Homo-oligomer: A and B are copies of this chain.
């Protein structure tokens, strides 16, 4: 059974034009007018593919294809509908579009699944509106409820989530939003890799082992600010120099010991007072540390503490603050095997890999057996108007998704 490349292309290209005004790329923030138009288009495409559509009380969208056995739980696939600001045309929406096409393939095959198949498009995954990520999936799984409707407020407009929902046309009734555990037997999220590995290694499909755990630390190095001309080099307590030594030391250790198993990024760094003619007296920087292996994550955190001590021995003061810690989330082994089996059947290449970014799948995984498959992003670029996934790659991805659904349908029926 073949996926229709042109249908995929038409959906992606049409959705690229459904946008709030923005400098470049596309922008559909949750509960915006453009988001509504995007949802209307998606629902139309779902209906064209034989799906019965439904919107829940927070704006998640579903398209359901009934199976032959009404008593069975659903297999669910999709991704998020919202975008970052000035986004590319693939992040999130590619997973929805491929799932719609997979549903169309099931319908047109003449061989319906036994399980119901539900295409899902979640809302608020990106966090650009309320500063809270993975919103829709956390409402669907019951992590969030009534309380959050009033406590989450818009970063730019200050409106509560409830107010934003009301303007969007939702009455705040959350009954039916949380989906019971027994209604779903498997979740599959297809997504762009958002990194360069698949393209570099010429692999068609990435099978996600784990969504990495993330530790965010804030490190503050304090030395002594003074005049840049009057203090000899050997009498300085330059907080910047200390911070750079700590960052480079950790960077070397990570690259040497945990290459392709962990990442570390010092993305934010602020010198104080920050004048060209002042020795930096304070340097505050963030460390974003990620690994799919919690033992490695913890080992790196120990290295950070060791580096702190080493730096303190030079006379600088170092404070560590954990901004957040989230352990890795493992994907369901049995679904991973089905994806691999599908790749083999389709004669496609694949590799197992971690997801360095967060996804709704990590929320779903706490309630239902969940897995993810990645498609190559050109040049590894994402969250950027230049983001691109080849339509042939999307076709291959859809066919793997379709095959995986078939294998799951067989195995879950036992």
Contacts and interface: CB of A to CB of B under 8 A. Distances in A.
A357 B290 CA distance: 45
A268 B259 contact: no
Contacts of A273: 267
A279 B255 contact: no
Among A245, A260, A277, A286, the most chain B Cβ lie within 10 Å of the Cβ of A277
Given A244-B248, A248-B241, A248-B245, A230 B195 contact: yes
A230 B229 CA distance: 42
Contact of A233 (B196, B226, B264, B286): B264
Contacts of A323: 276
Contact of A269 (B214, B228, B230, B269): B269
B269 A276 contact: no
Interface string A232-246: 111100101100110
A47 to B, nearest CB: 34
Contacts of A214: 229
A288 interface: yes
A276 B280 contact: no
Contact of A229 (B196, B212, B229, B232): B212
A200 B235 contact: yes
A279 B290 CA distance: 13
Interface string A17-52: 000000000000000000000000000000000000
A382 B286 CA distance: 31
Contacts of A383: 227
A230 B383 CA distance: 12
A234 B263 contact: no
Interface in A263-311: 263-269, 271, 273-280, 286, 288, 290
A357 B271 contact: no
Contacts of A275: 267-268
Contacts of A269: 240, 269, 271, 274
Interface in A91-146: none
Contacts of A355: 229-230
Nearest to A276: B286
Contacts of A200: 235
A381 interface: yes
Nearest to A255: B233
A267 to B, nearest CB: 5
B265 A228 contact: yes
A255 B244 CA distance: 16
A59 interface: no
A290 B278 CA distance: 13
Contacts of A380: 226, 230-231, 235
A355 B229 CA distance: 8
Contact of A259 (B195, B216, B233, B264): B233
A181 to B, nearest CB: 29
A13 interface: no
A370 to B, nearest CB: 18
A267 B212 contact: no
A254 interface: yes
Contacts of A263: 228-229, 231-233
Given A248-B241, A381-B226, A197 B266 contact: no
Contact of A234 (B195, B235, B255, B265): B255
Nearest to A286: B276
Contacts of A358: 229
A280 B285 CA distance: 12
Contacts of A68: none
Contacts of A268: 271, 274-276
10 contacts: A195-B227, A197-B235, A226-B381, A229-B355, A230-B382, A234-B259, A240-B267, A241-B266, A244-B244, A265-B279
Given A196-B235, A229-B288, A229-B290, 7 more contacts: A226-B380, A230-B355, A233-B262, A234-B259, A265-B277, A268-B271, A268-B275
